[in-house]
Structure 1
């Protein structure tokens, strides 16, 4: 199965069986939970609430218990769940955000 992901410079094609270079880079980095919290506050809290307990968007408490790191990254960057916008931060920023999401 092929997945199209809109990048900042155009479309990239990723295969579900093989992580994209972006995903591999994100997963290879160590995220900073504190930085991730700040990123969440600036970009996500408007819909998911200041404490990620839900608002317009769903609660993200315990999200890493039912979504893998890979699925969390794909959810954030895809924009496939309207009204959630497509968001593709730098790999380090995504790793930081992922670290915060895993702490919920």
Structure 2
């Protein structure tokens, strides 16, 4: 059991190191996001599923999401397309920084 827990922890660490070394992620995290711009990006690209106030519709509520997911996790969620029906979304680095800033206000 201990080996399983240790493997999980090491795996999570490896994922974080890979994510932190990704040039896109590194750039996003180095930028200052504008939550007002992020809200506009959200309204155009995300509100159809997550609701105008991010309270959920087809997609889950995003209220408090930054308390449950790291900035790396949020970036991955947005750009990966790993959780259908959420589509892969490829915002510019500044747009992603803005979107992160908005999500952190929820």
Q: TM-score range by the shorter chain?
A: 0.7 to 0.9
> For structure 1, which runs of at least 5 residues remain unmatched after alignment?
1-14
Q: Which runs of 4+ in 1 moved over 6 A?
A: none
Partner of 1:87: 89
Per the normalisation by structure 1, the TM-score is 0.84
| Greater C-alpha Rg | 2
For residues 19-66 of structure 1, give each alpha carbon's deviation from its aligned partner in whole angstroms, at most 9, with x where no partner exists: 200000000000000000000000000000000000000000000001
Match of 1:65 among 67, 71, 96: 67
Once the 2 structures are TM-superposed, how far is the Cα of residue 88 of structure 1 from its aligned partner?
1.2
Cα separation, 2, equivalents of 1:50 and 1:92: 22
Per the normalisation by structure 2, the TM-score is 0.83
Cα separation, 2, equivalents of 1:72 and 1:42: 18
Q: Compute the RMSD of aligned alpha carbons.
A: 0.9
Name the structure with the higher helix share. Answer: 2
Counting matched residue pairs gives 90
SS in 1 for 2:62: coil
> For structure 2, which runs of at least 5 residues remain unmatched after alignment?
1-13
